[in-house]
Structure 1
Amino acid sequence: MEQNENKTEKRPTIKDIARESGYSKTAVSFAFNDPSRISKKARDMIISTANRLGYIPDPMARNFSLRRHLSIGFLLPQIINYSMRNPYTLQVIQGIGSVCQKYGYTLTLIPPLNESITDAVRSAAVDGLITMGMQVGMDIVKIMKIRKLPFVTIDGAPSEGMPSVNIQDEQAAYMIMKMVLEQGHRRIVVVCMSEDAFDSDEFEASVPKRRKRGYERAFNEFGLSLYDETNSITQMVSECTLEDGKHTGHLISKLKTNPTAVVTMSDIIAIGCILYFKEHGFLVPQDISVVGFDNINEAQIISPALTTVDQPAGEKGYLAAEALFRMINGDSLGSTHMEIPFNIITRESLCKVKEET
């Protein structure tokens, strides 16, 4: 066995290219990072030499010279295990990713670091951030401003100085709950999303809280309340995953009083409930109606197809990313609030309550 067989071949450097091409290290750097500062002949010779030597520029060094990371960060509201199992979040990421590809940037997914969103922001090697559910007054906002990181929030609290992309969550929740009540349902289970890493008791504008206010408005119009434990309304909380949705369906099936409808804040939770009910002999919607929120692709594939609120997750991600790139490039028009329309999609998973005999 030859002595050099297991040796790692030395990676060529700028110094090697300079020596072989006859140009200075500064000229070599310009050839890769700012070619307008040298002649075409010099650049062609340097690039040809680099290719012959098998040189590949160090992206970290290049980004340092440009004073940019050429990446934007998407700050996940929950740990990877939950965030990446929620189709709504995945559709938001697809929208952001399409814009990153357009501008030649990478997309960095940033989960809470050591269970801390603020630690994750401190360490993020990105040129800007997109978050979900953030609100003014949070520590994370202060850190981004100290770092002078441009940012846009999706589903955050619309406020001055915080660019955001939203729908009218409270109104959407009100409308779909009113539809359920108009179908005669009074024994209802409301399945809320768990609060994300941005939320705390001092902030009243989180998505779950906005939707609860919408549900409560509808209940009040029919003489009910989401918070009156003596009535027939039951609240539950679930993570936005299929598995947790099925577990929620199991819990609902064990209630002493059989509900006639389940209203969830997430389609994937609703789909999990439907699957559990079908697997255990409950007919949807004849025995129990189910409605969701999001209109993910799976909502029209599940049988019966899901009645839900249509909020375009991919468009949210796309608009947020476009706004962020405008801010990165110095355009103040990026720092605005965008409210996009929603629709109520009526499908087969909701029907009138059966007359009791």
Structure 2
Amino acid sequence: MVGIVDVAKKANVSTATVSRVLSKPGAVRETTTQKVLQAIQDLNYQPNALARQLRRLETKTILVVVPDITNPFFSKVLRGLESVAVANGYQVLLGDTGNDVEQETGYLNILQQKKADGMVLLTARMDSQAIEEVSRCYPVVLACEYIEGSNIPTVSIDNISGARKASEYLIELGHERIGCITGPLDVVLSRDRLKGFYQAMAQCNLTVEPVLVQEGDFTFESGFNLMMKFFALGVLPTAVFAANDEMAMGAIRAVKSKGLRVPEDVSIIGFDDVRFASIFEPALTTIAQPAFEIGEHAMELLMKLINKDEVMREQVILEDQLVVRESCQKNK
């Protein structure tokens, strides 16, 4: 088996020079670098990546923690994260918490045991102090969710503004009796989206009926069940803002199951713009998050932390966009 000593002999340099060419080629003269690279090619030398990583105390692995891998929104975020990680020579290790806070906390141990070089959290439901403590010792970035008052680098949209935009669109269409299906209210972005809904209603002097605000869990099933609850309570709104697309699709299915139509009988707007939103029937009007870009920016921030580069902005807020399709229309 060809080793670094064989390469050094063939190139007539020291083993230290070969190591520098492999790790920091810019620190070696061009002519020497070319001799070493030619020797590597002639001998078909394969550097021992594991040994190199152990010497540098690095794993070339990034841990990404997701609250629910079945939620299609996260697939685009993950693609953005991985595109930057791979370009920088890192692989991504995925941890799915299944919305379990204890499991989320357990993933911190992987970072503390130095089995990964850094972590991107797409969820922030665990004790904020625990995340803060880990972030002081290891590279950590938050994406999508955030911790209020934290200095941990974060990439997200303005969920309050996005929800307000969605609600204002329904109001502009003439709807006044508007329902809201929220996400789980122990999650900061769910609270933000509910806050945006309330702001829009208040700005237009519209009353929010408490019974028309129901807490879901971001799943299709909860959207279906809570829309059916509106029917059961006899308080059918003319429009519904659902805090994510899956719940909006579930609500649409519930309306159809009652023999009614969307948007003719009830207008429904979602949030996220997942892939299925445009091909659902009817195509879903929604707030589009730049999911791929969120992933890209989050991983770029993490690379800076790992490389000990200066991070200029600790909070990156990206723009969302209202995407108008077929699930909303003017109130008759």
TM-score normalised according to structure 1 size: 0.74
Query: Which residue in the other structure is 2:299 paired with?
Result: 321
C-alpha RMSD of the superposition? 3.6
Q: Are residues 1:211 and 2:193 paired?
A: yes
1:174 aligns with one of 160, 164, 188: 164
| Counterpart residue identity of residue 109, structure 1 | L
Indicate if the aligned counterparts of 2:285 and 2:327 stay in contact, CA closer than 8 A.
Answer: yes
Shift of 1:151: 2.6
Distance 1:243 1:127, change over 3 A: same
Identity %: 24
| Counterpart residue identity of residue 106, structure 2 | D
SS at match of 1:281: coil
Q: Within 5 A, what are the aligned runs for 1:14-163?
A: 44=39, 48=43, 57=48, 60-76=50-66, 78=67, 83-112=68-97, 115-124=102-111, 125-134=115-124, 138-157=128-147, 159=149, 161-163=151-153
Query: Which residue in the other structure is 1:3 paired with?
Result: none
Shift of 1:158: 6.6
Deviations 1:177-217 (A, max 9, x none): 12212323233321111246xx5xxxxxx111111111111
Deviations 1:83-111 (A, max 9, x none): 12211111111111111121121111123
Distance 1:71 1:170, change over 3 A: same
SS at match of 2:311: helix
Q: Are residues 1:268 and 2:246 paired?
A: yes
Q: Which moved more, 1:33-42 or 1:212-221?
A: 33-42
1:345 aligns with one of 320, 323, 326: 323
SS at match of 1:286: coil
TM-score normalised according to structure 2 size: 0.79
Distance 1:242 1:46, change over 3 A: same
For 1:42 and 1:180, how far apart are their aligned partners in 2?
Answer: 64
2:256 aligns with one of 257, 262, 278: 278
Deviations 1:46-86 (A, max 9, x none): 995977xxxx94x654422221111112122x2xxxx1221
For 1:217 and 1:264, how far apart are their aligned partners in 2?
Answer: 15
Query: Which residue in the other structure is 1:202 paired with?
Result: none
Indicate if the aligned counterparts of 1:155 and 1:167 stay in contact, CA closer than 8 A.
Answer: no
| Counterpart residue identity of residue 108, structure 1 | L
Indicate if the aligned counterparts of 1:85 and 1:240 stay in contact, CA closer than 8 A.
Answer: no
SS at match of 1:332: coil
